Amino acid sequence: MPAMQLHTLLLASLLALPAAAQTPTFPSVAYANLGGRDLLLDVYVPTTGTAPFPTVVWIHGGGWSGGSRAPIPGGVASLLARGIAVASVDYRLTSQAGLFGAFPVTFPAQIEDVKGAIRHLRANASTYGLDPSRFGAWGSSAGGHLAALVGTSGGVASLEGTSGGNLAFSSAVQAACDWFGPIDILQMNPDVTTPPGSGIDHDATSSPESRLIGFDQPGQGIGVLRAHEFDPTPPFPFYAGLAHDLNPITWADANDPPFLIAHGTVDTSVPMHQSVRLADALRAAGVPYVYSQAIGFGHGLGGPHDVTVGLFFAQQFFSTQTVETVCSADVASASCPCGNAGDFGHGCSNSLDGSNGALLVAGGATPAAMTLQASGLPANVSCIFLQGDAFAPPVPWGDGVRCANGALVRIAMKPAITGFALYPDPAQGNPSIPARSAAAGAPIPPGAARVYQVYYRNAAAFCSPATFNATNGVRIVWP
């Protein structure tokens, strides 16, 4: 089959879950009124399935100064086909000074509004057909920052605010997805690497970050604040305090919900190291997370990355299977061969030139729907999905680290035309993982744990001779 046909087939399969029509079930709901102006949200409820539904709160981006709740992106709408409701929310923007009477539009206005929207949804869950015990947050860019902050700041009184009232209801979420959001605004410029460089001077008085905290007058700006972060002279302590409070890392602890983080490797708007900072903090706090480095992507994701998010929320909201990322190629768990470095939750760095390794994720509502997705693979390669019936300490193997051990079952061989591979693929009618394992003579008994890993070959000979490269491992405990 020609490469272009394979590319089309793979892309179609990754996007096989249909995006519902972007017409809200409950449009333009006023969840708060500030200074005589309503703050609105739209609720999208699945047309199939049984209420109450779990809900993902979508938080739009736009540098905290632009953007709108509508229309929702197609990837967000595709959650409806998985039985997940969507609530898309507006919040005060830094460009709207004076539109809310005496209410400010600088931080913490944004997080107070998002939390107010979540409280409203919980308070009115029966009206909308939502399950108040299963809420998630997902946002991109500035919205990613707010989704991350919602995720880590559950129960933090100083960020709760009073937008919309309903203060007897929680604004906490049970899962959070941050797509390329700023994390530590004082470190935005220092985190820039070249390549890819930056199209924004985050230190400038006109930068989105400077405007967010209102430190945007002549002689001010994030760069000045960073130089005076610990200066006790007013007004520096006040603005440094805002920068501290809006950083999701400030509030990270072991009680936070599972996170999915994704960031393009050539993002020139938000440095990728901002997401590394968040991943490091979550790991240190003992918070479950997956961090996907989107190879070759800039300030925007979608397509197969939407599938990753769908698997993540399906796993958190529905699954009877336990999923754990294992066998990361870091010095705490295993050394990489050939003197290579690795990253937590990924394979060895030279398993893909210029990255921290390829990533394997898993998720699904039922055993039959459980899906494995490998990303960050080289283009135009074939990869092998393997299942191990025992978990042993990871060992260097080929150009990666071998996670799946014991009696190996070859689940499938798949093409990774665009750097992604999926099993089972709904567009191809693949049997489920348990069915495929049983057909291979290795039925999975109830309560059994299996480890999955994807191996592939790379044209570059990082080791001599060139051998298999490997993703991280995923450990699934089947019900």
Strand 289-294: give its sheet, edge to edge. Answer: 26-34, 37-44, 85-89, 53-59, 130-140, 175-179, 259-264, 289-294
Task: Give the model's confidence band at 32: pLDDT under 50 very low, under 70 low, under 90 confident, else very high.
Answer: very high
Residue 242, pLDDT above cutoff 70: yes
Task: Give the model's confidence band at 394: pLDDT under 50 very low, under 70 low, under 90 confident, else very high.
Answer: confident
Task: Give the model's confidence band at 469: pLDDT under 50 very low, under 70 low, under 90 confident, else very high.
Answer: confident
* Residue predicted with more confidence, 139 or 461: 139
pLDDT of 470 reads: 81
The predicted model gives 440-461 an average pLDDT of 86
Residue 461, pLDDT above cutoff 70: no
pLDDT digits (tens, 9 = 90+) for 167-203: 999 999 999 999 999 999 999 999 999 999 999 999 9
Vertex 307 angle, CA 305 and 309, to 5°: 75
pLDDT digits (tens, 9 = 90+) for 422-434: 999 989 999 999 9
- The pair phi, psi for residue 421, each rounded to 5°, is -145, 145
Query: What CA–CA distances, in Å, run from 102 to 33, 35, 66, 338?
Result: 12, 7, 20, 62
Whole-number average pLDDT of the chain: 89
Query: What CA–CA distances, in Å, run from 319 to 57, 208, 305, 312?
Result: 20, 39, 20, 10
Mind giving me the DSSP string for 112-168?
HHHHHHHHHHHHTHHHHTEEEEEEEEEEETHHHHHHHHHHH-TT-GGGT--TT--TT
Vertex 42 angle, CA 99 and 118, to 5°: 80
Task: Give the model's confidence band at 22: pLDDT under 50 very low, under 70 low, under 90 confident, else very high.
Answer: confident
Query: What CA–CA distances, in Å, run from 9 to 417, 420, 421?
Result: 10, 12, 11
The answer to whether 145 touches 176, Cβ cutoff 8 Å, is no
Residue 344, pLDDT above cutoff 70: no
User: What is d(CA 436, CA 424) in angstroms, rounded to the nearest whole number?
Assistant: 9
- The pair phi, psi for residue 236, each rounded to 5°, is -60, -45
What the chain holds in terms of domains, given with CATH numbers, is 3-184+247-317 (3.40.50.1820), 322-477 (no CATH)
Q: Which residues contact 314 (CB under 8 A, 6 or more apart)?
A: 82, 84, 363, 364, 365, 369
pLDDT above 70 coverage of the chain, percent: 87
The predicted model gives 27-56 an average pLDDT of 97
The predicted model gives 60-81 an average pLDDT of 97
Mind giving me the DSSP string for 177-205?
EEES----GGGTTTT--TTT--SS-TTST
Residue 132, pLDDT above cutoff 90: yes
